[in-house]
Each structure stands twice: as C-alpha cells, then as structure tokens.
C-alpha cells in the first residue's frame, strides 16, 4: 500500500523461519495460525472495505463495492479499509501468503499502535504491496527502507511474506528474496494490519496462511535475575545516537568525514510546517553519509539567517521593521555571525575528535556565503596539516538549476519559495519518516500564490507529488556525494 502513515501459506506447506531452518507448518515449533481459514475470528474490520472469507483466504475487493448515495460522499471517492488483529505482538516471526491484482493498493502492517481516531489503523510499520510503486515497491517498509532500484514481482499470483521483527531489527523476504534488512526504533509492539483499497488502487487483495511465532527481544532476560543487555552497538550514522567510544572506533575504522548539515525554521505558508529545511536536512544527511561510506553525521543545525527581528534599541522590537520570513510567527533567525560561529565550532569539535574532512551543507539559501567563508578560512588553517573543511554548494544551487529545467519540461510552473519543488521534498521525506501517518503537510491549506502574497508562498504547492519529491531529493544526494568526493580527491 501507500496511503499517507510512519512509515507498512493451501495444504501442507513449508514455512522458512528467517535466520533458522525450515519448519513444517504442522509442527509444534512455536508457530501458530492467526487465521482459521473459515471466519474472521481474531480480526476487526476497520474502514469501508468489506472483507470476506473465500477459498480459505481473507479477501476484499473495493472495486466491486458501490458507495451508497446516503453517505453523502461522491460515488468515485476511493473505498478502503483494514483488518486489524485483536492480538498484539512485541518481537516475532511471521509468514503470510498474499495475492494482489495488478491494480491493488495494499500492505501488511506490523506493530500498529492504538488508533488516534475512529476508522484508523494506528501508526505502524507498513510492508508495501505495490510492485510498480514509484517510491516503496512491494517488500519495502515505508519510511524505513525501499527496495529501489530493485523490484520484486508478486502481483497476480500467490506470493509469500516472511517477516522478522526482533528489537529494532526488521527483516522482510518476498518469495524467498530479502527486500529489507534494516534497523529502526519507531515502534516496538502492536497489532497486525491488512489493507484493501485506497486512492492508488481498488483491486482485489487476498491473504491466507498467516502464522506467527513470538520471539525474545535481543538481550531479553532469560530469568528474573538477569539484566537487559541493551543495544549491542550503533544503529545509525548519527553521532548523537552513538557513544563516544563508538565514534572513536568508527573514525579509526575509516569513517573520517564529518557532515554538518544546516536547515532552517522558516515560514512555508499555512500548508507546510516550519521545519521544512530541517526535516529535509536531517533525512538527506544520513543518505549522503550512507552513499559516501566513510562519513558520520553531526547533529542537524535547525537555525539559519531568515530575516531581521526588528530590534530598534535594547528591549524594543518594532514589528514594522521585521523583514523577510521574520514577519511571520514561529520563524527563527540567527545572525550571520552566530551562524558562522556555530559552524566553526562544530568543525573544530569534529577535527578535535579526529575527523580528516568536515563538510558544510546548507539546505537553505540564507547562510551559504557564510559557510563558504568559514570553510575557506578553516581549510587554509588546517589544510597544510592534512585536515580539510569544505563547503558543498552544489546540493542547493545545482538542484535549483535542475528544478528550473525539470518543471517547465513537465508543463509545471516555476516557483521561488516553498512551491512545487520544496513541498514535494517535504511530502517525500514525511512519508519516509512517518509512513502513512503524515505530520508536516496540511493538504487542504496548500497555496498557489505569487510574489508578496500574505501566505508567504511563491509557487504552487498543490502540484507537489511523492514522485517529484524522490526525484529532487535524489538529485540533492547525488550532487552532494559527487562534490564531496571530488573535493576530497583534489585535496590529496
């Protein structure tokens, strides 16, 4: 499936336990069935899709349903719904067969929390079922890991999910092929969910032979006297999630590049959250570090120069003298001097820790020249000693060049601030971070306005799409990685 959330066996068969030997379905090896093959006992229907049991499979076909006129909704409004297990699970292995029409919109959800509203499934990990999805094809965990560029072929036949969720370690296989092997800490327990229908596909979906085997969490005590062991090591490239000895050891093992990525807290109209640049920066910094292979990420700087406060004398702010984004509530401005000083001191900290290369990246237009100036001076000071500090402007400026070429070619208008480009990026990063539980976009409040509009938007936010968000963020990642590699090579 792909709706907006955080991040989603006929006869005798063999169930392959991930990380363990094959086990016959009938054996008492801790496996048990969650579906009796004849009723929906153990499952609760959520939403409008009608679920039935056909040929020992739980099935729903929203395309065959007609919305009653009495509901007061347009007849073409997509019908969707879920089955939610009445039982919840912490750590487990799960196997389930699924059959999906090519136009089905579905997913297998795990660790679903309590719904915040009637008719919802709750926040979950979603294992997507959509072979041709542009962002998270079948077997992806939405907001955690995409199979791209690889795709599995599962539609129009019975396919097998094998899922292992143990602590923060998540593994997914589709038809024996590993599609996800990742770590994520967002959800630790909850119900299971099965999806049918939605805006991206009303086709038939069926599930059968759903079995689960509970597991102990990694390091779980085996007796009341044993203490939990905790995480065995770092699970990300963010230094704030590492211990100091892990950072030391990572540097010694070759991770000698430090990424300092700055965002901003600035207005983006009534439809996009203030943290736009912060969200993008925090997500992309990790992707850039992954592609470099030798980098760690310093905490994302949330603040940047965004205008003037309107301070006319000590203790007095003249509202009429505020400029740029600072005219709107919630914006945060730091002076160019402060912005540069923080970058300098973070770089000094990274150098003191033993990093050989420090790169400054700014997702926001304001502050680019300040970062370039600080990097130039520090590189002059430390370069002769084999330590380098670089500013990476390509991510910002060349991505904007790409956007100005891309939009007209696709019959889309150019934008200047928080328009189609920026909103698409937030839409995509929001999906990667929160799956089908979006937090940063207000769809009914997106703007299509020009220069000097009171909304603060200069562009068309309503045209934003997930697909463009992935395109634009991929361009940023590729530009940054290429420039970082080139600068480091040139400095040798």
Chain segment 28-71, per-residue pLDDT in tens: 367 888 998 888 988 999 888 899 999 889 999 888 776 655 45
CA dihedral 163, 164, 170, 172 (to 10 degrees): -30
Instruction: Catalogue all structural domains in the chain, each as residue range(s) with its CATH number.
Output: 14-67+74-215 (2.60.120.560), 234-492 (3.40.50.10310)
**pLDDT at residue 7 greater than cutoff 60:** no
- Closest to 293 measured CA to CA, from 254, 330, 261, 326: 254
Residues 284, 286: Cα–Cα separation, whole Å: 5
15: confidence class by pLDDT, cuts 50, 70, 90 = very low
How is the beta sheet containing 257-262 ordered, strand by strand?
295-297, 257-262, 357-362, 388-391
pLDDT given at position 407: 96
Ramachandran angles phi, psi of 441, nearest 5°: -120, 135
218-229 confidence digits (pLDDT tens): 655 544 444 555
How many of the other CB atoms lie within 10 Å of CB of 342? 16
pLDDT given at position 436: 66
**pLDDT at residue 406 greater than cutoff 70:** yes
20: confidence class by pLDDT, cuts 50, 70, 90 = very low
pLDDT given at position 19: 35
98-138 confidence digits (pLDDT tens): 999 988 889 999 999 988 766 678 899 999 999 988 888 99
Asked if 378 contacts 384 with a C-beta cutoff of 8 angstroms, the reply is no
Name residues whose C-beta falls within 8 Å of residue 244's C-beta, 6 or more positions apart in sequence. none
pTM above 0.85, yes or no: no
- Cis peptide bond N-terminal to 149, omega within 30: yes
The structure tokens listed for 6 are 């955080």
271: confidence class by pLDDT, cuts 50, 70, 90 = very high
DSSP string, 243-287: -HHHHHHHHHTT--EEEEEE-------TTB-TTHHHHHHHHHHHH
pLDDT given at position 48: 85
Asked if 83 contacts 35 with a C-beta cutoff of 8 angstroms, the reply is no
- The 3 state secondary structure assigned to 391-421 is ECCHHHHHHHHHHHHHHHHCCCCCCCECCHH
Mean pLDDT of 274-287: 95
By percentage, how much of the chain surpasses pLDDT 70? Answer: 86
294-352 confidence digits (pLDDT tens): 999 999 999 999 999 999 999 999 999 999 999 999 999 999 999 999 999 999 999 99
């Amino acid at each position: 499936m792909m709706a907006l959330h955080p991040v989603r066996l006929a006869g005798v068969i063999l169930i392959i336990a991930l990380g363990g030997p094959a086990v016959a379905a009938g054996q008492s090896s801790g496996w048990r069935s969650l579906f009796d093959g004849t009723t929906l006992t153990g499952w609760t229907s959520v939403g409008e899709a009608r679920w039935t049991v056909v040929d020992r499979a739980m099935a729903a076909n929203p395309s065959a349903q007609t919305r009653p006129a009495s509901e007061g909704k347009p007849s073409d409004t997509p019908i969707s719904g879920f089955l939610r297990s009445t039982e919840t699970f912490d750590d487990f292995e799960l196997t389930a067969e699924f059959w999906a029409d090519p136009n089905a919109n579905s997913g297998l959800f795990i660790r679903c929390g309590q719904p915040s509203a009637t008719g919802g499934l709750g926040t979950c990990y979603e294992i997507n079922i959509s072979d041709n999805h542009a962002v998270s094809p079948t077997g992806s965990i939405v907001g955690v890991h995409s199979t791209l560029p690889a795709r599995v072929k599962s539609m129009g036949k019975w396919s097998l999910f094998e899922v292992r969720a143990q602590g923060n370690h998540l593994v997914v296989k589709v038809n024996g092929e590993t599609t996800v092997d990742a770590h994520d800490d967002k959800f630790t327990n909850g119900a299971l969910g099965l999806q049918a229908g939605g805006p991206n596909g009303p086709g038939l979906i069926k599930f059968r032979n759903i079995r689960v085997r509970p597991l102990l969490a990694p390091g779980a005590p085996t007796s009341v006297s044993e203490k939990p062991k905790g995480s065995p090591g770092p699970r990300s490239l963010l230094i704030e999630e590492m211990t100091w000895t892990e950072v030391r050891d990572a540097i010694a093992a070759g991770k000698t590049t430090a990424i300092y990525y700055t965002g901003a807290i600035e207005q983006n109209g009534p439809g996009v959250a203030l943290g736009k640049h912060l969200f993008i920066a925090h997500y992309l910094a990790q992707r850039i570090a992954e592609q470099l292979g030798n980098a760690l990420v310093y905490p994302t700087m949330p603040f940047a120069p965004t205008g003037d406060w309107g301070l006319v004398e000590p203790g007095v702010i003249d509202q009429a003298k505020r400029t740029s984004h600072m005219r709107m509530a919630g914006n945060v401005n730091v002076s160019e001097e402060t912005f540069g000083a923080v970058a300098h001191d973070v770089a000094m900290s990274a150098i003191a820790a033993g990093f050989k290369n420090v790169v400054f990246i700014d997702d926001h237009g304001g502050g680019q020249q300040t970062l370039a100036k600080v990097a130039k001076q520090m590189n002059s000071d430390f370069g002769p000693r084999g330590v380098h500090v670089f500013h990476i402007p390509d991510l910002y400026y060349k991505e904007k060049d790409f956007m100005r070429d891309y939009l007209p070619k696709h019959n889309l208008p150019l934008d200047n601030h928080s328009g189609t480009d920026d909103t698409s990026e937030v839409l995509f990063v929001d999906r990667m971070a929160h799956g089908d539980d979006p937090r940063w976009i207000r769809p009914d409040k997106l703007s299509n306005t020009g220069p000097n509009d009171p909304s603060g938007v200069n562009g068309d936010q309503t045209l934003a799409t997930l697909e463009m968000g992935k395109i634009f963020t991929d361009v940023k990642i590729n530009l940054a990685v290429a420039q970082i590699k080139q600068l480091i090579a040139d400095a040798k």
